[in-house]
Amino acid sequence: MSGTGTDYSVCVYCGSRPGTLPAYADAAKALGEAIAQAGWRLVYGAGDVGLMGITARATQAAGGDTFGVIPTHLLHAEVGKRDLTRFIVTENMHERKKVMFMNSDAVVVLPGGAGSLDEFFEVLTWAQLGLHAKPIILMNVEGFWTPLIGLIDHVIAQGFADASLKDLITVCDTPAETMTTLQGCR
């Protein structure tokens, strides 16, 4: 993918809330800064709240390119961040997810809620079906995604997926580890 002056785009799925631990916000800020410092583009849900807003503001403050996609019905709730490099309003969530995914080369999942889980499982399912080979990284800040990783292990152990499902996911604990992994995927 190409963006304005970038040759690599990272889609970040994350919460529209900051969560309870300061480490979540710290990781979002550090990831946003690192994406900008690498000369890459941030693709995300265009909100100016929670971890979404923190990631985008950090990317912008570090001089990075930002590509936000938000559905009409969330413009108010997620405080659509209109000062992005590119700001797209879609009709619905399905279109939002499609535009975000189509405009990115890799996916990073920071802590988040049901929306982040939905986005994660959709891209994981597409990878499982062979529809894409983009890297999918779970940033396991303070062990946030450990229960999810356990659930995936349980699904495999109970015969509902091959063990190869876990090969489609990389778990990283820090923004630095995430960036190193992304560098290796380019």
Give the Cα separation of 115 and 94 in Å (integer): 12
- Quote the mean pLDDT of the chain: 93
The verdict on residue 2 lying in a domain is no
- DSSP codes of every residue in 37-55: HTT-EEEE--BSSHHHHHH
Give the Cα separation of 84 and 60 in Å (integer): 8
Mean pLDDT of 27-38: 98
- State how many domains the chain has: 1
Does residue 165 sit in helix, strand or coil? Answer: helix
Mean pLDDT of 106-124: 97
State what percent of residues in the chain have pLDDT above 70: 97
Q: What is the CATH number of the domain that holds 29?
A: 3.40.50.450
Query: What is the SS3 assignment for 110-144?
Result: CCCCHHHHHHHHHHHHHHHCCCCCCCEEEECHHHC
Give the Cα separation of 180 and 87 in Å (integer): 28
| End-to-end Cα, the chain, rounded Å | 12
Q: What is the pLDDT of residues 37-57, one digit of tens each?
A: 999 999 999 989 999 999 999
The torsion angles phi and psi of 71, rounded to 5 degrees, stand at -80, 150
The verdict on residue 1 lying in a domain is no
Give the Cα separation of 2 and 25 in Å (integer): 28
The verdict on residue 186 lying in a domain is no
Q: Is the pLDDT of residue 3 over 70?
A: no
The verdict on residue 16 lying in a domain is yes
Beta bridge partners of 3: 6
* pLDDT for the residue numbered 1: 41
Q: What is the pLDDT of residues 145-186, one digit of tens each?
A: 999 999 999 999 999 999 999 999 999 999 999 999 999 998
Cβ atoms of 70 and 47 closer than 8 Å: yes
Q: Rounding to the nearest 10 degrees, give the CA dihedral for residues 58, 87, 75, 91.
A: -140
The verdict on residue 24 lying in a domain is yes
- Tokens 């950090």, residue located: 58
* pLDDT for the residue numbered 73: 86
pLDDT range class, residue 11, cuts 50, 70, 90: very high
Read off the tokens for 33.
Answer: 């800064």
Cβ atoms of 43 and 11 closer than 8 Å: yes
The verdict on residue 131 lying in a domain is yes
Q: Is the pLDDT of residue 6 over 90?
A: no
Q: Is the dihedral of CA 101, 92, 17, 152 positive or negative?
A: negative
The torsion angles phi and psi of 82, rounded to 5 degrees, stand at -85, -5
The verdict on residue 4 lying in a domain is no
The verdict on residue 122 lying in a domain is yes
State what percent of residues in the chain have pLDDT above 90: 84
Structural domain including 109 reads: 9-181
Mean pLDDT of 124-151: 98
